[in-house]
Amino acid sequence: MSWEWEIIWQYLPKLLDGAWLTLELIALSGLFGMLLALPIALMRASKNAWLRAIPFAYIFFFRGTPLLVQIFLIYYGASQFEVIKESFLWPILKQPYWCAIIAFSLNTAAYSAELLRGAIQSIPKGEVEVCEALGMSKPLMIRRVVLPRAFGIVLPAYGNELLLMLKSSALASTITLLDITGMARTIIARTYTPMEMFFAAGMVYLVIAALMIATFRFIEFRLNRYQYYHHTPLPKTLDPQLRDEHLDT
């Protein structure tokens, strides 16, 4: 089998169009997913058994079924009902773009809610007790202490989740969207060069993933500064009487 580099260069602009759609999909679904995951995680971490039980079915369903099935249910399933086709939802559900975003958001929200719940529960008990001792109200405590701490803890795992979502977004191509994978498949249908085009598509995913990893490392570094703190060595010329032997090492 011959390898045609020209084909990759010729169709790269089209693949990059697809990359833009992929980025839009994961950015919007990541955002909506996070907004949805927040209250769910707080409910899941609550001490009230009823509050904990409400989101259980939702999380169970979205973590327990394949994303492809969820996409098909929302895209092809919803359109089978006259009720939905006549409702105000149809202008949104009519578009594959929004169907994909709804499916991805609901899916990622289920996973991130569980991640966040774990993070909230792993905040050292003492920190929560301090808030209570200071007489902080619950909302204030959540806003000032619980969420900022939980975000710091959840970041590495959440970065993972977003990377997984980047790759799952390839499923958008099954509902006529021309994301990176959809674009690659449409090009292959014309050129019959699957090796070249899938290689190129893989490279585009790799670049996006690299950018996401770098961004997350940066945010992690900012948010968890205390973990990266190093003492600055004291100047050698400092008056010996000012030295503190604990800081000297």
Partner 1 sequence: MSIRKLIATGCVIAAAAVSAQSTFAGDKLRIATEGAYAPFNMVNSEGQLVGFDVEIANALCVEMKADCDVVAQDWDGIIPGLRARKYDAIVASMSITKERLRVVDFSEKYYSNVLAFVGPKGADMGVTKAALKGKTIGAQRATIAGQTLEDVYGDTVNVKLYDTQDNAYLDMSSGRLDGLLSDKFPAYDWLKSTEGKKFEFKGADIDINDKIGIAVRKGDKLKGKLDKAIKAIVANGKYAEINAKYFPFSIY
Q: How far is the CB of 166 from partner 1 (least distance, A)?
A: 21
Distance between CA atoms of 92 and 86, rounded to whole angstroms? 12
Q: How far is the CB of 192 from partner 1 (least distance, A)?
A: 5
Give the residue with the Cβ less far from partner 1, 21 or 178: 178
Give the residue with the Cβ less far from partner 1, 6 or 244: 6
Structure token digits, residue 40: 């769910």
Q: How far is the CB of 198 from partner 1 (least distance, A)?
A: 10
Binding site for partner 1 (CB under 8 A): 1, 76, 79-80, 85, 94, 96, 174, 176, 178, 185-186, 188-192, 194
Give the residue with the Cβ less far from partner 1, 92 or 234: 92
Q: How far is the CB of 158 from partner 1 (least distance, A)?
A: 32
Distance between CA atoms of 233 and 248, rounded to whole angstroms? 7
Distance between CA atoms of 160 and 156, rounded to whole angstroms? 6
Distance between CA atoms of 125 and 147, rounded to whole angstroms? 14
Helix (H) or strand (E) holding 127: helix 125-133
Q: How far is the CB of 200 from partner 1 (least distance, A)?
A: 16
Give the residue with the Cβ less far from partner 1, 190 or 246: 190
- Exposure class string for 167-205: b at 16+ Cβ within 10 A, else e: ebbbbbbbbebbbbbbbbbbbbeeeebeebbeebbeebb
- Exposure class string for 96-116: b at 16+ Cβ within 10 A, else e: bbbbbbbbbbbbbbbbbbbbb
Give the residue with the Cβ less far from partner 1, 93 or 128: 93
